[in-house]
Amino acid sequence: MIIIKVLCIDIGGTFIKYGIFSISGDTYEPIKKVKTEVSINDNHILKQVTSICKKVIQEHPTISGIAIASAGVVNPDSGVIEYAGYTIPKYQGTQFKKIIENELNIPCTILNDVNAALLGEYWKYHQDDNKNNLVCLTLGTGIGAAIMINGKLYQGHSYTAGEIGYLPIDGHYFQDIASASFLTENATIALRRDINGEEFFKLLISGNPAIRKIYDKFIKNLAQGLLIIQYLLNPDLIILGGGILAQDKLIIPDVVAEMSNISVHNHFIQSEIIPAKLGNEAGLLGALYYFKTENNL
């Protein structure tokens, strides 16, 4: 029996995570992460990733491929970053697939990180439950989404399907008014000291009125974006991910109640909303699943 090992890499604006996986999704060693080398005007991500690949392959010469998930708009066919926002300057045009395959003589796949997260959740939890129409949102610094229709990832004509963070709502981008950053940034202003996500929810649960006002606005904003998804796609499931979904038992019932208040009729909001289950490994496992299907493994 041939044992296939794949180096999986998840590139974010803050950290690059990586690990060696079997083709079935088992890890051979703990996941590692390094700080993403990004400055105000430039980035060194391609150099970092290439260096990681060379180091890991030298230590594990039986690795059969490299599977990458990355922030930004990714063309998975060419392996090029088609667009990246201000958080990763000069990232647009980065040619991961071509450079890695040419330098290391090893197959490489790459796709958007939220698309990867959706594939990971689908592979491990929904592939066999007859729920093949899914939308996955990650709520972090911004908001990203991924769409699956009839068991197939839908990326759009120019690979921008799911870029819901730029959806205009009440004169703002959706990601500016319904992300985790919206909560912490507004709490920091209101309380005049730095507030992180964990402390935000402690203050909310303790009954702080300023925090409650921010949270209620967040729920209203999030409900508006999710309602658009329900009207447009009517998926089986909407999967919500990101660190703040540690508070899923609070957030999900509240946003469902708000959607019920603002929808034209409850018949339009029958998609089940659930928290993501894979946590920090979602992007890595989704990148692996994409590599696996692209190479018919």
pLDDT 10s digits, 95-124: 999 999 999 999 999 999 999 999 999 999
pLDDT (tens digit, 9 = 90+) per residue, 183-219? 999 999 999 999 999 999 999 999 999 999 999 999 9
Q: Please say if the pLDDT value at position 1 is more than 60.
A: no
Provide the pLDDT for residue 140. Answer: 87
b (16+ CB within 10 A) / e for 228-251? ebbeebebbbbbbbbebbebeebb
Helix (H) or strand (E) holding 282: helix 282-294
Single-letter code of the amino acid located at 41: N
CATH superfamily entry for domain 129-275: ATPase, nucleotide binding domain (3.30.420.40)
Q: Residue ranges per domain, the chain? A: 5-117+280-295, 129-275
Q: Are 81 and 88 in contact (CB under 8 A)?
A: no
The residues facing 256 across adjacent strands are: none
Closest Cα to residue 111, out of 80, 147, 90, 150? 80
The residues facing 69 across adjacent strands are: 10, 111
What does the alpha-carbon distance between residue 271 and residue 179 come to, in Å, rounded to a whole number? Answer: 21
The CATH number of domain 5-117+280-295 is 3.30.420.40: yes
User: Residue 129: which pLDDT band, with cuts at 50, 70 and 90?
Assistant: confident
User: 5-117+280-295 and 129-275: same fold?
Assistant: yes
CA angle in degrees (0–180, nearest 5) for 152-9-62: 100
Q: Please say if the pLDDT value at position 2 is more than 80.
A: no
Residue 107 CB-half CA count within 13 A: 17
Give residue for tokens 């590692």.
32
| Mean model confidence pLDDT for the chain | 94
Q: Are 79 and 72 in contact (CB under 8 A)?
A: no
